[in-house]
Amino acid sequence: MQGKAEGIVIAAFPTGSPTPAMDEAIKRVMAKGIPVVMTNRGGVGRVRDTRVRAGESSAYLWGDNLTPQKARILLMLALTKTKDPKELQRLLNEF
């Protein structure tokens, strides 16, 4: 029996910027409706969407100052209530 991920948390580089190959793989996952949260593997610092300022939009969810472990727990709890990306991002920002 294979399990299906309901959400994915990525422990990225401190800048939170995925490599081009990683970006393509993430886009394939998100196309299936699976939310992806970008966090900082360094454990310190904030990960935010910097591409919005550059005029691009992003479908990633951003873990801001959450460690990957905390983001995973929060995502698991949030997914029991909603799958709406805007609401998931709001919850990640709030906690």
pLDDT in tens, 49-69: 555 544 444 578 888 888 899
Q: What is the pLDDT of residues 24-40, one digit of tens each?
A: 888 899 999 999 998 88
Report pTM.
Answer: 0.78
| 88, 63 contact by CB (below 8 A) | no
Q: Given phi > 0 = left and psi -120 to 50 = alpha, else beta, which region is 25? A: alpha
